[in-house]
Amino acid sequence: MSSPILADKAFVRATITNFFFFFSLNCFILLPLYIEGAGGTEIEIGIVMGLYITHGIGYAFMWTILASLLLLGSALSMSLTDRRVA
């Protein structure tokens, strides 16, 4: 007898995505408090938070370009290999 499936793949993927989204949101809120507790000044907190935002925007842009290149590459390879001989 096989064991029952507790969650399908789509649910697990949505749960993991949700976890990372709220984890990054939590880091954005609690990081200044941590820096202040570690003895950081307001200027240092501002620099770190600015870098955190810049990092997020930069990686979003990078992943967009990477996904576009991957989709373009797969579309080109499909069009080149799908030649039907008459």
Tens digit of each residue's pLDDT (9 = 90 or more) over 66-81: 888 777 777 666 666 6
pTM, to two decimals: 0.51
Taking only the tens place, the pLDDT of each residue in 8-66 is: 888 888 999 999 888 888 877 888 888 899 999 999 999 988 888 888 788 888 888 88
Which pLDDT score, from 0 to 100, does residue 75 have?
A: 67
Which pLDDT score, from 0 to 100, does residue 79 have?
A: 64
Residues 6+ apart with CB under 8 A from 32: 45, 48, 49
DSSP letters for the chain = -PPPPSS-HHHHHHHHHHHHHHHHHHHHHHHHHHHHHTT--HHHHHHHHHHHHHHHHHHHHHHHHHHHHHHHHHHHHHHHH-PPP-
Q: Where are the domains of the chain?
A: 9-81
Residues 6+ apart with CB under 8 A from 40: 48
